[in-house]
Structure 1
Amino acid sequence: MSVVAKPNIKPLGTRALVHRIEENETQVGGIYIPDSAKEKPQQAEVIAVGPGELKDGKATPLPVKEGDRVLLSKYAGTDIKFDGEDYQLVREDDILAIIES
């Protein structure tokens, strides 16, 4: 699992702050693919989670917690840069699965 410093960001509602896990790049046949043509990795580490959805004055927590490794939908989240690191702020609906090791 990657080691990323935890930023001082607290997501609101049903959002989670994640750090995408870059896959190892392998080049076949010496072809270089520029970053702009690459797809975003779909695996991420959960850095922080919001309190969840409010129903009848009570918060229903998200099913993920800090440190979980998750699969995200292909175009999930809002990209943010904080202290030189890239993160995404995603909604609960953008988290497809928890990866168990």
Structure 2
Amino acid sequence: MTNNVSATPLHDRVIIKPAPAEQKTAGGIIIPDTAKEKPQQGIVVAAGPGKKDEPVTVKQGDTVLYGKYAGTEIQIDGQELLIMRETDILAVLS
């Protein structure tokens, strides 16, 4: 996987690359930038080691679902990424 970043999250933090926002509706209508919803899905780019008694369960490359306003937007190496606690992740998609 080529999503290597030059940062390692601490404790139970996870760095996620959000999926791109939808460009069109199912009916083919183009969505303007001002009406696009925040993505709620992304790929784990890096994960911390976890807390003392609670290791992190997600790993690099996992596709995950998270809350609409979860995490903090950051920019590393020119990439728009999110950093959040593992507890903010709702599900791992298979």
SS in 1 for 2:87: helix
Match of 2:15 in 1: 17
| Superposition pairs of residues 1-101 of structure 1, within 5 angstroms | 4-26=2-24, 32-34=31-33, 36-55=34-53, 60-100=54-94
Query: Which ranges in structure 2 are unaligned for 5 or more consecutive residues?
Result: none
Residue identity in the other structure for 2:50? G
TM-score when scaled to structure 1? 0.79
RMSD: 2.0
User: How has the CA–CA distance of structure 1 residues 87 and 31 changed in structure 2, closer, same or farther, with 3 Å as cutoff?
Assistant: closer
Query: Which TM-score applies when normalising by structure 2?
Result: 0.85
Q: Name structure 1 gaps, 5 residues minimum.
A: none
Using a 3 Å threshold, how does the CA distance of structure 1 residues 25 and 31 change in structure 2: closer, same or farther? closer
Identity across the alignment (%): 41
Q: For this pair of structures, how many residues does the alignment match?
A: 93
Paired with 1:6 and 1:29, the residues of 2 have a C-alpha distance of: 34
